[in-house]
Chains A and B, each alone.
Chain A
């Protein structure tokens, strides 16, 4: 059974003049130990979705089941108890400005009703994990963004949660800091087995960190699955827009036949194009090429402009297919 089950989740916001369907029939299973990325353009409903997982937003219909518990059946007190197992970190860190690093980490445990001695002991452990022991008496205003997010992560870990929800947790950070925060999250996932849900609009975050991905567009999940599957063969146009964002692949120039070839795993280490040109004796024009490292394997995609002649076009496609390369018309 999945650790987080979302079933037929919908969320509608009613305004005075209009209603907005922020989420429509979302179904998603997230298993223990996953690092699940939920990616979408801004306004797609990502933040609403993640807030439904811990019931900061109550869904309009459908259910959220965490560890077998249907959240809508819990009393307010039971829900607060459950939230100690589902921590959350935020884009803007949301630390208490009037408490120092230790005080901020202590906060989560004070809420959980832990004793002073136990809190202090745990703070020392957590400072070690996030590498902020030398900053423990600083206030948030004296810390960099990355350091503040580390404090937030320590705070999130304090109550030994099963799940950490990350709402655009790296979007306010520079690339280097982003990498170090993502590394920390991966390490936490690996060492402690904590399931992590990452909400983001950045492909690179999902590529480098997530095991699974769900693509959300206009309040609907359009694709879900393992990162390498979804990213190498995106089926929906929303997914393509996100993955091949800069290629303009959805609007090819008229009159020219173009194909997208996708190659993955060992295929990317072979000189396919050179072989193609030599063996078929045709010229192809590379309109766009991009390779990515997804989950440790190399993936690439290219957009080729084919020769005018029909026979030569078919030859190219046939050749590529014989080399077991995924070909699609664009």
Chain B
């Protein structure tokens, strides 16, 4: 493909991919964070044990985690139509991306929060801290570094999902790779999208790890 046509095409692709990835990551965290906190707090060893609720949430999260993304996307098409008005295009793809990513993100956050030293939580309790105080002054700040690493991994995974969504009508680089590279045998376009996806993933990873290291106070200067 001629360069003057390829470049605007790829630029649009990058824009759409970043749009899907960032918005989906954002919404996945908005849903995943409360879900993760609920899992941590209601677990049998949590601050507010509620075994039945915990088991239900645990089960539901596992179900969503076990459905492959491509199949989940097809399964939730009615939901996507209901929310976005159509089932194809970048904006509509955000719906299945969030549905797939939120339970994944919840698990990532849950594991970060569980890493917080129980002794520090006990110390906070001994000072008379309430559960909201423990969540916002101990759990989240102490898990900060691990949460940032988790966010880095999660947004990388969501980037991958967004590219996969190109197979059934999602937008962005994935869609370009499939419609030009696979359906029209334009290998140059296929290679270009792959290179761009690799670069995007590298940027996410490097920036994420840099931020997590910079903000971690446990490391001696």
Q: List chain A positions with a Cβ less than 8 A from chain B.
A: 54, 56, 79-84, 86-88, 90, 92, 94-100, 107-108, 110-112, 139-142, 152, 155, 159, 165
What chain A residues lie within 8 Å of B133 (beta carbons)?
110-111
CB–CB A84/B128 < 8 A: yes
| Complexed CA–CA distance, A107 and B221 (Å) | 24
Q: Which residues of A contact B117 (CB under 8 A)?
A: 94, 97
Which listed residue (A54, A88, A100, A111) contacts B129, Cβ 8 A?
Answer: A111
Which of chain A's residues have a CB closer than 8 A to the CB of B137?
A: 107, 110-111
Residue of B117, B120, B142 with most partner-chain A CB within 10 A: B120
- Which residues in B have some Cβ–Cβ distance to A below 8 Å? 117, 119-120, 122-130, 133, 137-138, 141-142, 144-145, 216-221
CB closest residue in chain B, given A88? B126
Q: A111-B129, A141-B219 are in contact. List 13 more A-B contacts (CB 8 A).
A: A82-B128, A86-B126, A88-B123, A94-B119, A98-B218, A99-B141, A108-B127, A111-B124, A111-B127, A139-B218, A141-B220, A142-B220, A159-B127
Contact B217 A97 (CB under 8 A): yes
Residues of A within 8 A of B123 (CB): 88, 90, 94-95, 152
Can you show 7 pairs from A to B with CB atoms below 8 A apart? A87-B127, A94-B117, A97-B117, A97-B142, A98-B144, A107-B124, A112-B127
- List chain B residues, Cβ under 8 A from A99: 141, 217
* Contact in complex: A83, B218 (CB < 8 Å): no
Is B127 within 8 A of A107, CB to CB?
yes
Max count, chain A CB within 10 A of own CB: residue among B119, B123, B125, B133? B123
What residues of chain A lie closer than 8 Å to B138, measured between beta carbons?
Answer: 96
Q: Are B126 and A98 in contact (CB under 8 A)?
A: no
Across the two chains, which residue of chain A brings its CB closest to B119?
A94
| Complex contacts, A98 vs chain B, CB 8 Å | 141-142, 144-145, 216-218
For B219, list chain A residues within 8 Å (CB): 141
**Residues of A close to B141: CB separation below 8 A:** 96, 98-99
Q: Are A83 and B144 in contact (CB under 8 A)?
A: no
Residue of B nearest to A85 (CB): B128
Interface SS of A by simple majority = mixed
Q: How distant is A135 from chain B, measured CB to nearest CB, in Å?
A: 14
Q: How far apart sit A112 and B137, CA to CA, in the bound complex (Å)?
A: 13
Q: Which of A56, A139, A155 contacts B125 (CB 8 A)?
A: A56
Residues in A whose Cβ lies below 8 Å from that of B122: 56, 90, 94
| Nearest neighbor of B219 in chain A, beta-carbon distance | A141
Shortest C-beta distance, B107 to chain A (Å), equals 23
Q: Which residue of B lies closest to A152 (CB)?
A: B123
Q: How far is the CA of A140 from the CA of B119 in the complex (A)?
A: 15
Cα A107 to Cα B124 in complex, Å, equals 9
Establish whether residues B126 and A139, one from each chain, have CB atoms under 8 Å apart when the complex forms: no
Q: Please report the C-alpha to C-alpha distance between residue A42 and residue B44 in the assembled complex, in whole angstroms.
A: 26
A56 and B126 form a contact (CB under 8 A) = yes
Alpha-carbon separation in the docked complex, A149 to B124 (Å): 16
A residues less than 8 Å from B221 (CB atoms): 142
Hey, which chain A residues are within 8 Å of B127, CB to CB? 83-84, 87-88, 107-108, 111-112, 155, 159
A95 partner residues in chain B, CB cutoff 8 A: 120, 123
Distance in angstroms from A209 CB to nearest chain B CB is 21
A81 and B217 contact, Cβ closer than 8 Å, known pairs A90-B123, A96-B138, A111-B137: no
Cα separation A86 to B142 with both chains bound (whole Å): 24
Tell which of B128, B130, B142, B216 touches A96, judged by Cβ atoms closer than 8 Å.
B142
Contact of A90 with B128 in the complex, beta carbons under 8 Å? no
A82 to B126, CA, bound (A): 10
Q: How far is the CB of B117 from chain A (nearest CB, A)?
A: 7
* A residues less than 8 Å from B124 (CB atoms): 107, 111
On whether the beta carbons of A83 and B126 are closer than 8 Å, the reply is yes
Contacts of A90 in B (CB 8 A): 119, 122-123
CB <8 Å contact, A96 and B120: yes
